[in-house]
Amino acid sequence: MEEKGLSIRTAGNTEIPALLALNAKGYKLKLEYTKIEDENDLWYPYLPTWQAEKDNYNFSATTPVELLGLVSMWETRGDDWKAGNKEPDLYDELVSSAKIFDFDGNEVDE
């Protein structure tokens, strides 16, 4: 029997589950908006700020999925969450080895 797999990508249908996950973890949630005057700004007319608070720890992000990611990062790494000098630079490693695909899913050689 083939093993079951899963693939999730950030989309509109991930926002409510992200908020429900944070709520289940005991975080108090709040949403505020900042008015954007520049009509060319990506977030015009309002920039959302999603917030999660628990035990005097506060997290904020532009989307619920980003917010859940920050909380997860902190829950995994703790108060010393920032990358240290002796840790691998996974970001640069992934960027340098990333493949490029066209809209049909074909790998592009550039």
Q: Is residue 66 part of a domain?
A: yes
Nearest residue to 23 (alpha-carbon basis) of 68, 77, 61: 68
| CA 15 to chain centroid | 10
Q: For every one of its 110 residues, what pLDDT tens digit does the chain have, with 9 covering 90 and above?
A: 778 899 999 999 999 999 999 999 999 999 999 999 999 999 999 999 999 999 999 999 999 999 999 999 999 999 999 999 999 999 999 999 999 999 999 999 88
Q: Is residue 2 part of a domain?
A: no
Q: Say what the pTM is.
A: 0.86
Total domain count, the chain:
1
CATH code, domain carrying 52: 3.30.160
Q: Is residue 1 part of a domain?
A: no
| Continuous H helices in the chain | 15-24, 64-77, 90-97
Q: Is residue 36 part of a domain?
A: yes
What range does the domain containing 56 cover?
15-80
Q: Is residue 33 part of a domain?
A: yes
Q: Is residue 102 part of a domain?
A: no
